[in-house]
Amino acid sequence: MNSILKKFANILCGTLDNKAQIEAEISEGKQIHPYAKHVTDVCDHRIINRPEGHPGIYILEESYYVKPGQSETEIKPLFFYITVKGDTSVLLHSMQVPLHMKPEEVINTNDDLVFDFNELEMRPWGPAEYTWHEDKQCFTVDHEGPINGISFRLTETLKEGELFVMELVHKDGVKLTPYNTPIHYIKI
């Protein structure tokens, strides 16, 4: 695996949540962000019919959210294809999880989970370019694109042990994201 791709996967993969951020908000009197947890891993071994020598890696990110004041967990499996761009950048392509798959089954611990390369489709959102900054020891991205008629802007800083993720969503000029600061994930 290419060194910049390996560095990106090592930072992104694992179990991360924003429990510390939520506890701090609650102690200050108001929870602003949802509780969010990501369980992320490389899933190349789950891709069947992949052509020999096909570059890049596939990553499955299980995303679990509980909005402030609610107890129901929302599950969003996210599937990405990541390639290298030069010596200091990677491109993250958002993939469509095949519609016949149930979200609760698209998890890293499902030993029976398989993706057929011939069914894989990229979403029209990307690719998002993550750039490595040697001086700060982090990747950053600022990417905007349409998703189903909605404007979606992603700004992130990824460094060893933590991620700062801000997703700004607008529809018809109206901001739908209920907070103005990033979710701060810490690797568990």
Are 125 and 92 a contacting pair, CB within 8 Å?
A: no
Cα–Cα distance, 153 to 172 (Å, whole number): 14
Q: Which tens digit of pLDDT belongs to each residue from 92-120? A: 999 999 999 998 899 999 999 999 999 99
- CA 26, distance to chain mean position in Å, is 25
Cα–Cα distance, 158 to 144 (Å, whole number): 17
Cα–Cα distances (Å) from 48 to 28, 88, 107, 111, 156, in that order, read 49, 29, 17, 14, 31
Q: What is the pLDDT of residue 11?
A: 97
Q: Name the maximum alpha-carbon separation found in the chain.
A: 55
Strands 115-116, 47-48: parallel, antiparallel or unpaired by DSSP?
parallel
Q: Which tens digit of pLDDT belongs to each residue from 39-60? A: 999 999 999 999 999 999 999 9
- CA 151, distance to chain mean position in Å, is 17
From first to last of its 188 residues, the chain has per-residue pLDDT tens of 789 999 999 999 999 999 999 999 999 999 999 999 999 999 999 999 999 999 999 999 999 999 998 988 888 899 999 999 999 999 999 999 999 999 889 999 999 999 999 999 998 877 999 999 999 999 999 999 877 778 889 999 999 999 999 999 999 889 999 999 999 999 99
| Token pair recorded at residue 91 | 């491109």
Q: What is the pLDDT of residue 181?
A: 96
Question: Domain residue spans in the chain?
Answer: 3-187
Q: What is the pLDDT of residue 146?
A: 76
- CA 147, distance to chain mean position in Å, is 15
Is the domain defined by 3-187 classed in CATH 2.40.128.590?
A: yes
- CA 153, distance to chain mean position in Å, is 13
